[in-house]
Amino acid sequence: MAKTCFNQWDPVCGMLLNNCEAEYTEEFEGKTYGFCSQWCKDSFHGNPQRYIEMPASHKGTPAPKDVPEKH
């Protein structure tokens, strides 16, 4: 079961988390942070201040492509 997190975007890689729920979480200073993978969680665990102070930007994430409606 997924755990609720405090962030909408993975602070390590910038990936959008589905409804702010993540399978991989890490507690730091009383907050729970969500991640897209074990690798991102491990990276955060190694240096959480780095990712809190300068989280990965989601601005580089491409927008979803428009999918035409089927008729």
Reduce the DSSP state of residue 63 to 3 states and report it.
coil
Task: Specify the pTM.
Answer: 0.68
For the segment 6-41, what is each residue's pLDDT rounded down to a tens digit? 677 889 998 888 766 668 889 899 888 888 899 999
Beta strands per DSSP E along the chain: 3-4, 21-22, 24-28, 31-35
Question: In whole angstroms, what is the distance from residue 54 CA to residue 65 CA?
Answer: 28
Measured distance CA(50)–CA(31) in Å, rounded: 15
